């Protein structure tokens, strides 16, 4: 088995004794797209800054492409970065912003022009060379930042919530652009986001964090279908997995809690359901309707029904489900086998 392109070995970072991150271990294959996912304050941006060299770890080791860079400056790590704030020079044109780093490194004019044209072509910015950032939309400014990362031609690109300033429709469009660029250029991307949709749709590997620790690392499918604990179960998925206390349902004494995805829940005929719930809300999404349910032993219980459905809040609704669709967790919230 080949060595990982990026290897993070047990790094930790604290400020004045306050935990930033701890026990962070990652092995990132070359050419992969890795998403650092989690709520605000979970440590994902701190982890990215440690990878970039903008922060140095108190403990542990970071290896990039076989070279120990734990104490190396950012410029010595052969990587590029794309920030949430775009970080463009407002007084420079698009072309000048894109090739700024190449000029600093004294790359020749002919090579700069060639790389500029290619980067603008890839990002759909040909014809915008002379415009300044203030004359561009948010999506175009983010594409300039991407073009700048492309011309740097570094094998590793770190992205810190690059789409947070864009509206939902534009985020979806630029998200596809970033994924296509990553595949076409063959680069390794580490991408910070608190939007699970971005992580699940773009990444080969998702690293879900909470309170400075990694909760689970795996493919999007693994986090969705095999969550390691109840935090992962509730964080991943829209709607999230429902958690039900086993004492509220006969026959499930072996686990403290079991989880159930909305698509595994079916509406049952009166008198034939396994749980009797009350309807709390109906959320119509076009192709389906999510019906929120209340039960004394459950949280986040939802059933998905095709098309437009409306059931009055407060009405009783019986549901059923197959045992093989259940996820079992112990008293500490950790997944049980089987």
pLDDT tens per residue, range 141-167: 888 888 888 888 889 999 998 887 777
Confidence check: pLDDT of 247 > 80: no
User: d(Cα 306, Cα 289) in Å, to the nearest integer?
Assistant: 6
* Residues 110 and 83 both lie in one domain: yes
Contact 242, 230 (CB under 8 A): no
* Residues 16 and 127 both lie in one domain: yes
CATH code of the domain in which 23 resides: 3.40.50.300
* Residues 49 and 153 both lie in one domain: yes
Domain end, chosen from 206, 232, 258, is at: 232
* SS3 annotation, the chain: CCCCCEEEEEEEEEECCEEEEEEEEEEECCCCEEEEECCCCCCHHHHHHHHHCCCCCCEEEEEECCEECCCCCHHHCCEEEEECCCCCCCCCCHHHHHHHHHHHCCCCHHHHHHHHHHHHHHCCCCCCCCCCHHHCCHHHHHHHHHHHHHHHCCCEEEEECCCCCCCHHHHHHHHHHHHHHHHHHCCEEEEEECCHHHHHHHCCEEEEEECCEEEEEECHHHHHHCCCEHHHHHHCCCCCCEEEEHHHCCCCCCCCEEEECHHHCEECCCCCCCEEEEEEEEEECCCEEEEEEECCCEECCEEEEECCCCCCCCCEEEEECCHHHCEEECCCCEECCC
* Residues 57 and 168 both lie in one domain: yes
pLDDT at 118: 85
pLDDT band at residue 255 using 50, 70 and 90 as cut-offs: low
* Residues 170 and 253 both lie in one domain: no
Q: Give the closest residue to 290 by CA, choosing from 231, 224, 238, 232.
A: 238
Residue 335 belongs to some domain of the structure = no
Q: What pTM value is reported for the model?
A: 0.88
Angle subtended at Cα 251 by Cα 249 and Cα 255, rounded to the nearest 5 degrees: 80
* pLDDT mean over 260-269: 93
* pLDDT mean over 289-312: 92
* Residues 222 and 90 both lie in one domain: yes
Strands 156-160 and 79-83: parallel
Residue with token string 């997944």: 335
* Residues 226 and 254 both lie in one domain: no
* pLDDT mean over 39-48: 94
* pLDDT mean over 77-98: 88
**Domain total of the chain:** 2
CATH code of the domain in which 272 resides: 2.40.50.140
* Residues 127 and 146 both lie in one domain: yes
Residue 59 belongs to some domain of the structure = yes
% of the chain beyond a pLDDT of 90:
63
pLDDT tens per residue, range 196-242: 999 999 999 999 999 999 999 999 999 999 999 999 999 999 899 99
Residue 334 belongs to some domain of the structure = no
What is the residue range of 172's domain? 6-232
Residue 218 belongs to some domain of the structure = yes
* Residues 92 and 195 both lie in one domain: yes
pLDDT tens per residue, range 102-145: 888 888 889 888 888 988 888 888 899 999 999 998 888 888 88
State the average pLDDT for the chain. 90
Confidence check: pLDDT of 30 > 80: yes
* Residues 198 and 68 both lie in one domain: yes
pLDDT at 296: 92
């Amino acid at each position: 088995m080949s060595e990982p392109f990026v290897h993070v070995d047990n790094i930790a970072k604290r400020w004045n004794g306050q935990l930033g991150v701890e026990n962070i271990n990652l092995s990132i294959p070359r050419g992969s797209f890795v998403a650092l996912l989690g709520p605000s304050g979970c440590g994902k941006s701190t982890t990215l800054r440690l990878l970039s060299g903008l922060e140095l770890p108190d403990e542990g080791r970071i290896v990039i492409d076989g070279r120990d860079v734990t104490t190396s400056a950012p410029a010595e790590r052969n990587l590029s970065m794309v920030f949430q704030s775009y970080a463009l020079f407002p007084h420079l044109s698009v072309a000048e912003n894109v090739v700024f780093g190449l000029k600093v490194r004294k790359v020749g004019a002919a090579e700069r022009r060639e790389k500029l044209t290619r980067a603008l072509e890839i990002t759909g910015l040909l014809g915008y060379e002379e415009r300044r950032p203030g004359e561009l939309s948010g999506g175009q400014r983010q594409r300039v930042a991407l073009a700048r990362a492309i011309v740097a031609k570094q094998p590793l690109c770190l992205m810190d919530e690059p789409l947070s300033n864009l509206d939902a429709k534009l985020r979806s469009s630029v998200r596809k652009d970033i994924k296509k660029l990553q595949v076409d250029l063959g680069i390794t991307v580490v991408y910070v986001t608190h939007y699970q949709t971005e992580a699940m749709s773009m990444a080969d590997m998702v690293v879900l964090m909470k309170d400075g620790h990694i909760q689970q690392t795996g493919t999007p499918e693994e986090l969705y279908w095999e969550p390691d604990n109840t935090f992962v179960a509730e964080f991943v998925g829209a709607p999230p997995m429902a958690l039900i206390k086993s004492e509220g349902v006969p026959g499930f004494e072996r686990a403290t809690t079991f989880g159930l995805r909305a698509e595994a829940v079916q509406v049952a005929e009166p008198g034939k359901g396994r749980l009797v719930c009350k309807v709390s809300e109906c959320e119509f999404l076009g192709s389906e309707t999510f019906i929120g349910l209340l039960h004394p032993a459950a949280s986040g219980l939802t059933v998905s029904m095709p098309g437009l459905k409306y059931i009055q809040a407060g009405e009783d609704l019986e549901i059923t489900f197959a045992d093989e669709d259940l996820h079992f967790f112990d008293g500490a919230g950790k997944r049980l086998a089987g």
